[in-house]
Every structure is written in structure tokens, then in C-alpha cells.
Structure 1
Amino acid sequence: MTTTSPAPFAAETGSPAAAEFREVTQRFGDFTAVDRMDLTIGAGQFTTLLGPSGCGKTTSLRMLAGYTRPTEGRILINGQDATTLPPEKRGLGMVFQSYALFPHMTVAENVGYGLKLRKVGRVDREAQVTEALEMVGLAHLARRKPRSLSGGQQQRVALARAIAIRPTVLLLDEPLSNLDARLRVQMRSEIRRIQSETGLSVVLVTHDQDEALEMSDDMVVMKSGQIMQQGHPADVFSAPANRFVADFLGYENFLTTSQGITLAIRPEHLQVQDTETDAVDEALNLRATVTDVAYRGVDTLLMLRARDPSGEEVDLLAETRGEDPGRYTPGDNLTASAPRHRLVQLGDD
């Protein structure tokens, strides 16, 4: 019987890049899904492609996986040109949104399927399957069929199947979108733990900013097939490059100065004062009118109308905590204070 050892989790070449996109473009007829992308996936890092539907993130993942060939450019894996390699030759693991488990196979058979295709011997295959199932906490369900499992358990089986082959890069295509909110939070932690323990290079596609911020070492924000900003989540969150990134990350409030500079501030950083005499020092203070109030238990959202420094009318959102929910009502006049150290200057999209 042929015995083939699975590919190791970590890159073999010593290269800091597990994968690279070099001037990659993908066109479908007249539509450009990905436009001259240059991207480095760091070895041993958790990289997230984040953006709205249609931004090119899933197309990028499919090109990396080998399911779609770029119209132009090159894709490297472990420093080797993989642009024309079929998926099964790339040494990658992938977890789909739908899990794609075989209903007639047991959990163990599902997890071992990729190893069997790679002609890994039975003894080694069983060891790899057991290791992967233990990693996701499902070793006790090895003989079950997928139909008897919960959605969260099926997701774990799909994850175990992908990591059992010890992939060079693990690709995750919105794998948590079918789970309820509690399970999504739990699985974020589980996936991050597995990545940390194994040293896997991971690429996650998501439209959920909370997932990206919580799980990433490197966050790539995309729009219309192009990278708008890339960096550590804390750096991107605190200093978005442009209005698109700021808006996508929930900044909500945008102001224009008399010099035409665009500023952004998050709702939780916009302070409200009853009168002008209470205006905050070292802040941009605006007279505002309450247009709506939304009580949410732990906080209250105030929708405001004001004029920014350029003279334009703007709608603002302030998030207040610990306030009496009945303190403000529509029509009240107040001062909205944007502390200058909380204002972010934005560049062009």
C-alpha cells in the first residue's frame, strides 16, 4: 500500500509568504471582479479578506484555491508559481459556506476523504483523522453520520477535514454565516485556537467586520476588486484610509472642514452636552438638534442633525451610555462634541 505523508502545516521553503498575488486580474466578460491585485499572505498568519458582496474577495479565494484561473497575473504558493496548477495539486484545505459533507459517509470517513485521495496509508490516515477530530473536539462522534449532527458540529467536521491534510494554507469561505450568533462567536474562538496551535496560514473571506477584527493578524479591506487598505486590525480600525473603509467599519459620522478635508468619528466617541457652555475643550463643537432616539438597554442612540464646519447639513449618530433614556427627545437642541484626538482624517477612496 502506498503511504504518503501529508503536507506540513508550516511552509517548507522558509519564505515569509505562504502565498502571493502578483498583478492578478480576473475578468468575466466586461466585468472586472479583481483588478491588478498585489497581496502577500504571511506564513503562519491569519489573513482576512473583508468587504461587501461583489468586492472580489470570494473570487480571490477561488483563484488561490485553483477553481478559477486569473485572466492576468501570477499566484505563488510557498514561493512556487501555482497559477496553472489544479486545486488538488496546491496542497490547500478549504471550508465552504455549505460545509459540503458526504451524507452517506461517517464523520471519520468525511475527515479522511482528502487523505484517501492522496493515497495516504490506512494507519497514517486513521492517525491524522483522529488528530484532526480531537483538534475540533469531535473524536467521540467519529462513527456518526452528518445528518445526526447539529449545524455547529457539521461545521467542525468540515474544518477537521480541511486541516487533516495539513494544508500549506487553509481557506475559509464565509464558514460561519449559517450559524446562529452564539455559535458564530464560539467558532471564531475555536478556529483562532486551532490556527494558533498548528501555525497554519489561514485566509478567511467574510463580510462581517467583527469576525475580521477578532480573528485577523492581517486584515485586507476590498472594494470593487481592489484593496482599499491592509494592515493589523487595530491599525486599520483606528486609522481607516478613506471614507469607504471608515464607513464599512462603522464610523457613521462624517464631517467636512472649511478646507474640504473629510473627518470621521465613531458614534461612541461623539459626546453630547445640554448647552454650549458645556462644550468640550479641544473638541469640534457643533450645535445639533435631536431627530430620533433609540433606547437599546445598555445604551441610547441619538440621531442628530447639525451643520459641519463647511456649512453643510449632516446627520450624526451619538451613542450614549448610562444616560436616562428619557433625557432627550426629538426636537431638543444640544451640543455635539467631537474630541479632536478622536477625529480621523480620511484620504480619497
Structure 2
Amino acid sequence: MTTAAEFVGVTQRFGDFTTVDDIDLAIPMGKLTTLLGPSGCGKTTSLRMLAGYTQPTSGRIMIAGTDATRLPPEKRGLGMVFQSYALFPHMSVAENVGYGLKLRKVAPTERKRRVAEALDLVGLGHLAASRPKKLSGGQQQRVALARAIAIRPTLLLLDEPLSNLDARLRVQMRAEIRRIQAETGLTVVLVTHDQDEALEMSDRMVLMRAGRIMQEGAPSEVFGAPANRFVAEFLGYENFVTDADGSLTTVRPEHLTLGASAASGLSIDGVVTDVAYRGVDRLVTVETVDRAGETVRLVADVRDEDVTARPGQSVTVSAPAARLIRLAA
């Protein structure tokens, strides 16, 4: 794996508060990497350190094999799109996109060509003469993206760029960003708190908590084998059962069945407490006692119309051994 950037033992402290705690992380070249986690986990601070807006308390930040820890932002060759798009309202779309090129003293003819190229890439060539206030939120986001791409950055950094869009536009822009990344071969680092966004867009995802990396890898690897309960819960796992020896097992709702005992794996009796109809399926909540003697609630995603369940009914909840995931403490 060729590395575009790297965190080497990086820590960031503000007084007594540690926001990033001794992380080592390699950003693969030509891939889209997401930094994922809840608010305050250190993902945005990590991005800002990579961009040069914040200096690490200790450790090194490498870009293209060179120590860039003390380099100012303008000398790192990075493009960045913020949560607020920061477009200049008095400039046209084309002028906004060309602003970074103008600062870098790119010749007018070349600047015009690269602006047109960037706008075509995001599908906004026809709006080059428009002002930002005339554009929709999704279009403004594309202009900000085109401005970052136009300078041909070593790395493209995206800080929660889709959070201001409505749900439909967010889904559209996920696909657009993936398309642009694939067509250009850019190395992209995206900060998000949305696990669906990270799973859909990432080549590699890095899940953080309290300034530390909990797990990293391809989305299918992380989702299919969460390292611990925090990772599992953050990625939407709902069912956790403690064994007699204190070990913890999780299983997803769609892998639980009702009314039949598994020959091997999980098989546990309980009482239905809730049934939520969702059109194509039903979420059935069952209260039971696990092997450690703890009362737990298990949620089964039932799609079989022949399986009936109602509150107060006694049922057996089962899952095959292949669907059970043993978690680290």
C-alpha cells in the first residue's frame, strides 16, 4: 500500500484535555478514507492537524513521505471542503472555483481551463456565471468541491461536507463524491459521524473514540467483525449477550429467527415485549435472561409473514453459530 499521508505517534492536548491520544495511521494513496466517530472523538482535530490548522502536541505528520508537521497549510498542497462551504457571495461560481488558482498565481488562460474542467467534473459548467446565493445547497456543495479539486491537491480533505444537506441530497452527493474520487484518483480523507455514509463511501474507514482508534479497515471487514462493543453499537448492532464466562457476543437483528432452536449457536427463550411493523418487515423485541443471569432485550428483524409474534407471547430466539460475533472486552 502506497501511503499518501501518515500520523506517527500523534497526540493533541488542550490543557489537561487530550483530544487525540498517540495515534498511528496511514492514509492510502488514491483511496477514500473516512474518519468516523461520535462528537468529541478526535476526528475533526485529526483532520485539522493533517491540514496544518492545528499543531500536534507531539508526534509527526508525514505527507508524501516528507515531515510536514510544522509546514503551514498553504505549503501542504491540500484541498479542503468545510461543513459550511465558505463561498464568496460577491464572486461568480467560476471566480470562486478559480480563487485558489489565482492565489497560486496560475496564468489566466490555464486558470480558466482548470476552472472549466473542475466545474464540468461536478456537473456545474452551465452555472459558471451564477452567484452562490442563486444556487441550492447541493449546488453550493459542488462548487466548494470544484474549488478544492481545481488546485489539484495532494490530498482532498472533507469535514462533514454533507451534514447541511437534506437526506435525499446527502445520498446523491455520496455517489457524486465517490464518482469524482474514482475518476480523478484523488486521495480523499472524509470526516463524518454518519456510519451509513462511511460504509457506503469508504475504501478504508477509521473508527475513533475518545481520541483513539478503535478499529480500521475496509468497511466490510469492520462491519463484519467489529472489534469491541463500542464499534458494534456504533455500526448498528443491537443485540448483546453475555456468556457464563463473561465473554460478550453480538448478533444482528436480521440474523435472529423466532420459533426454532438452532442446532448450534444461540438458542434462548424469552417473552415478546414489542412488535413494530415497518412494511417489508417487523422488528420484534424479546426480553430474556442470558447465561450470565443478566436481563437483556434482543431485537429480531422478521420478514417471514408466517411467523406471528405479539406482546406477551413466549418465543425461542435463535441464531446459527456462523452469525455470532465474539467481541473483545
TM-score range, shorter chain: over 0.9
The list of structure 1 runs, each at least 4 consecutive aligned residues, that deviate by more than 4 angstroms after superposition, is: none
Number of the residue aligned with 1:3: none
Partners in 1 of 2:119 and 2:67 — Cα distance? 32
Deviation at 1:308, TM superposition (A): 1.2
Q: For 2:63, which of 60, 66, 77 is the aligned residue?
A: 77
Structure 1 residue ranges without an equivalent (≥5) = 1-14
Asked whether 1:339 is paired with 2:325, we answer: no
Partners in 1 of 2:15 and 2:280 — Cα distance? 50
Number of the residue aligned with 2:12: 26
Asked whether 1:58 is paired with 2:44, we answer: yes
Partners in 2 of 1:106 and 1:248 — Cα distance? 41
1:188-237 C-alpha deviation (Å, 9 max, x unpaired): 11100110111100000001111111111111000000000010100000
Q: For 1:317, which of 277, 281, 299 is the aligned residue?
A: 299
Contact 1:298 1:322 in 2 (8 A): no
Contact 1:34 1:224 in 2 (8 A): yes
Asked whether 1:181 is paired with 2:167, we answer: yes
1:145-294 equivalent positions in 2, closer than 5 A = 145-273=131-259, 278-294=260-276
Amino acid at match of 1:336: V
Number of the residue aligned with 2:83: 97
1:95-151 C-alpha deviation (Å, 9 max, x unpaired): 111111111100000000011111101001011100000000000000000000000
1:239-284 C-alpha deviation (Å, 9 max, x unpaired): 00111101101111011111211101011111111xxxx3232231
Amino acid at match of 1:33: T
Contact 1:300 1:323 in 2 (8 A): no
Partners in 2 of 1:329 and 1:178 — Cα distance? 40
Q: SS at 1:193's partner residue?
A: helix
The TM-score with structure 2 as length reference comes to 0.98
Partners in 2 of 1:298 and 1:184 — Cα distance? 24
Q: SS at 1:24's partner residue?
A: strand
Contact 1:48 1:218 in 2 (8 A): yes
Name the % identity: 69
Residues paired across the two proteins, number:
329
Contact 2:265 2:324 in 1 (8 A): no
1:155-199 C-alpha deviation (Å, 9 max, x unpaired): 000000010001000000010111111111111111001101111
Number of the residue aligned with 2:21: 35
Number of the residue aligned with 1:10: none
Amino acid at match of 1:185: V
The TM-score with structure 1 as length reference comes to 0.92
Moved more, 79-88 or 280-289: 280-289
Deviation at 1:324, TM superposition (A): 6.6
Partners in 1 of 2:305 and 2:139 — Cα distance? 42
Aligned-residue CA RMSD (Å): 1.2
Number of the residue aligned with 1:114: 100
Amino acid at match of 1:56: G
Partners in 2 of 1:323 and 1:334 — Cα distance? 16
Partners in 2 of 1:324 and 1:191 — Cα distance? 42
Asked whether 1:129 is paired with 2:110, we answer: no
Structure 2 residue ranges without an equivalent (≥5) = none
Amino acid at match of 2:132: P
Amino acid at match of 2:270: A
Q: SS at 1:53's partner residue?
A: coil
